[in-house]
Chains A and B, each alone.
Chain A
Amino acid sequence: GIQVEQSPPDLILQEGANSTLRCNFSDSVNNLQWFHQNPWGQLINLFYIPSGTKQNGRLSATTVATERYSLLYISSSQTTDSGVYFCAVLIYGGATNKLIFGTGTLLAVQP
């Protein structure tokens, strides 16, 4: 099956720093979502991005489907950005319709 790998696995930042998180996937996918899992365990939808670039405030994401990767940019990080960031690829066709999650990046933003 498809493999979804994220890097780095862990990241520690000082407040105000910028970072780039990467998601690689091993096969063609129909779409891709980025999530932030906060310390309470909630999965927050960040982006739904099959290709191209999207921006939302201090966050932006770029997916290059032909090269099978996506990037999440966090600028001017804040302590509330701490948590785990997951990418998930959408596989559908026939009876299949599911998200395959990556391994996650654990981000800690220190004041």
Chain B
Amino acid sequence: EPEVTQTPSHQVTQMGQEVILRCVPISNHLYFYWYRQILGQKVEFLVSFYNNEISEKSEIFDDQFSVERPDGSNFTLKIRSTKLEDSAMYFCASSYLDLNQPQHFGDGTRLSIL
């Protein structure tokens, strides 16, 4: 079964540094998402992306965050200047053309800010 892949699985970064989290969505999916889970808390929506542009973003997704689909397969989340509170598990997800389809999640990237 096709799956969403995320790299790296764990990223350790100094506060203030830029970090890029990478995702390869399922190949025929057209909707892409990032979610965040702070340790011990529930999963929160960050941003959705369709047709090469952001379709919705949450209050968490401030100017420090950006997303990009640099080629036909990758989908990236960039945090420009990381803060301690950015430490979390970041999940990428994708879904098929029809919006009323399940979202498929990657295994996540655990981001630790020192």
Q: Does B77 contact A (CB under 8 A)?
A: no
CA distance A30 to B103 in the complex (A): 13
Chain A neighbourhood of B93, CB < 8 A: 99
**Most chain B CB within a 10 A radius of its CB, from A88, A97, A103:** A97
Chain B contact residues, majority secondary structure: strand
Query: Contact between B44 and A31 (Cβ–Cβ < 8 Å)?
Result: no
Q: Does A86 contact B (CB under 8 A)?
A: yes
Query: Contact between B100 and A41 (Cβ–Cβ < 8 Å)?
Result: no
- Cβ of A94 to closest chain B Cβ, rounded Å: 9
**Looking at chain B, what size class is its interface with the partner chain?**
20 to 34
CA distance A12 to B77 in the complex (A): 37
Contact of B43 among A86, A92, A97 (CB under 8 A): A86
Residues from 17 to 47 in B contacting A, C-beta threshold 8 Å? 31, 33, 35, 37, 42-45
Chain A neighbourhood of B31, CB < 8 A: 97
Chain A neighbourhood of B58, CB < 8 A: 98
Give residues in B with beta carbon < 8 Å to A.
31, 33, 35, 37, 42-45, 48, 50, 55-56, 58, 89, 91, 93, 99-100, 102-105, 107-108, 110
